[in-house]
A and B are shown apart, each in its own frame.
Chain A
Amino acid sequence: MSEDAKSRIMEFVKTQKKSKLYFNDLCKAVPEIKMMQAKKIVNELVNEGQLKYWSSGSTTMYMLPSEGDVDKEEKGMN
C-alpha cells in the first residue's frame, strides 16, 4: 500500500505546474490516508531521494531533486 501511495504522490508531483508543493498538496494525491501516516510516506520519498525539501526559513515545501533552487541565477552557486 505504501508503494502504491508513493507512486501516486510522485505521479501527482510530476504533473503539477508548480515546482514546489506544500505537504498538504501532496496529501491530496492520497486523500484516503491520514496526514500523520502520509507524513511517514513522504519521509520515505525524501530518504530515497525521490523528493527534496525547499525552505523559505519560515515554511517548507517539497520538490523534485531535478528542480533548481528558487533563484535560478544561484544555480551555479548551489
Chain B
Amino acid sequence: MALKHATPLIDELEKGPWPSFVSDVKRMAPKNPMCEDWLGVMELSYKEKEGHWKHGGIVGVLGYGGGIIGRYCDRPDLFPAIAHFHTVRINQPASKYYTTEVLRKLCDLWEPRGSGLTNMHGSTGDIVLLGTTTDNLEPLFYELTHELGMDLGGSGSNMRTPEGCLGMSRCEWACINTQDIIYDLTMEYQDALHRPMFPYKFKFKSSGCPCDCVAAIARSDCSIIGTWRDKIRIDQESVRAYAAGELTPHAGAGGTEKRKFDINAEVINLCPTKCMEWDGKNLKIWDEDCTRCMHCIRVMPRALRPGVDTGATILVGAKAPILEGAQMSSVVIPFIKMEPPYEEFKEFVEKMWDWWMENGKNRERLGETIQRLTLREFLKATDLTPDPRMVNTPRFNPYIFYDPAEVPGGWEHDAAAFRQRHQA
C-alpha cells in the first residue's frame, strides 16, 4: 500500500548496515496514521532543514507536575494526525531489565493510545512513549498503574527519574548495590519525582565502580559512585597465567585471542600512581598509593578484584553547559557506606535540597548555585568537613574570605589605639 506522503529524502536512511528507524516507522505507517504523518513531517524537515514542533505547557495527569511533555506540530494543515503529539515518560525498572511479558503488555497498551513509537530509552533513563493526544493521557495512566504496575517519570523542576548501572546484577566490579540505591531513592522521593519544588531539574545517578558506566560524574546533580578503601584482591596464580599468555587480557575487549602479554608494559608502567611492581612471579600493590582507576582490574579481571571494604564516593553538581558552562561533579563525601536504608545519605540529600531550594535561583542547577555561593557554603549547609580529597589543588589566588569570627575583634579596628601608635 502506498503511503500518504512521498519521502524520497528520508528513504535514503533505509540504506546501509545500521538499523534504520525509517524502515521501522514505515512498517508501522499502514496501520497507524500518526506514523504516516510523522514520516511526512520528517521529510519536510529534511527538505527545509528546520524542525516543525511547537512546545505546549501540558505536564501530566491529574495531580502530577511532570511526566508528560506537550508537543504540537506547526503544520497541522499538512499532518493532521500529529497535530498533537505529546510525550509520555515512564519510570523504567532500574537498569532496564525486562521480561517479554511486560514489554508485550506495554506495547498492547500503547498501540491503541498513540503512535506506537517509543524511545528505548530517553537520555535520563525513562521509557519514552512518543506521540499521543491529551484525551489519551488519563486512560493511559490508569492502565499503566493498574495493569502494568508502572508509574510516570520526571520532567520539569522535579527530581528526575534516577538511574544506575546494572551493578551487582551482572558485574563483578560493583562496589555498591546501585539498583537498590536507585530504587530506594526513587520510592522515598516519589513526591519530588512527580510534583515540582526545585529551582530546576535534579538528577541522581549511581555507578557501581569508578568506570562510571551511567556517566554519573558528567550528568547528575548528585553522583553516587562505588569505590573501596582497602586492598585490591590479588590471585597471584591468575596473574602468572596472564603473564604466561594463558588468559585473554582485558577480558577480550582489545581482541579476543590469547596473546603474549607484557605486564610491565600494559599494566605496571601505565598505572597512574606507579603503585605496582611485578618481579616475574608476584604482583605487589602499594594500596595506600592506589587511586582506584580500575585499569589493572579491567586488564586482568580474573586476577584482580576491588577490595571488600566498599562504599561510595559522593560528588555533586554535574550539568550540561547552559548556563554557566558544563560542569562535572565534585567530590563532597570521599567515602560513605551505602547500606539500606541509606539513612546517613538521605540526611545529606535533605540538607542539600533544603539549601538549594532556599538559595537557588530559578533555572539554576545545583552546580551553579554552588559555583555562585561557593563550595564552602554548601559544605557548611550540609555539615561536611573540608578534605583535601575535595580539590585538585588548594586555591592559588589570595582572595581568602576569612571568617570574622576567627579574627580577634572581628572586622572592627581599635581606631583610638591605632592612632596612639601612628600619627595621622
Contact = CB atoms under 8 A, between A and B. Distances in A.
Direct contact of A and B (CB under 8 A): yes
Interface of A: 22-24, 34-36, 39, 42-43, 46-47, 53-60, 69-71, 74, 77-78
Interface residues of B, number: 37
Question: Which 3 residue pairs spanning A and B have beta carbons closest together?
Answer: A60-B156, A60-B196, A55-B59
B197 A39 contact: yes
B357 A24 contact: yes
Interface in B330-367: 350, 353-354, 357-358, 360, 362-363
A20 B69 CA distance: 17
State the main secondary structure of chain B at its contact with A. loop
Given A35-B357, A60-B158, A53 B59 contact: yes
Nearest to A35: B357
Contacts of B66: 55, 60
B63 A78 contact: no
A41 to B, nearest CB: 11
B15 interface: no
A77 B360 CA distance: 35
B58 A55 contact: yes
A39 B159 CA distance: 14
A55 B65 contact: yes
B362 A71 contact: no
Contacts of A53: 59-60, 64-65, 156, 196
B56 A70 contact: yes
B83 A77 contact: yes
Interface in B158-207: 158, 191, 195-201
Contacts of A47: 63
B357 A60 contact: no
Contact of B57 (A35, A39, A70): A70
A58 B156 contact: yes
B362 A55 contact: no
A43 B357 CA distance: 16
B84 A77 contact: yes
B63 A54 contact: no
Nearest to B60: A53
A17 B74 CA distance: 29
A38 B353 CA distance: 14
A46 B195 contact: yes
Contacts of A59: 156-157, 196, 200-201, 362-363
B306 to A, nearest CB: 37
Given A35-B354, A69-B58, A55 B69 contact: yes
Nearest to B54: A71
Contacts of B196: 23, 53, 55, 59-60
A13 to B, nearest CB: 15
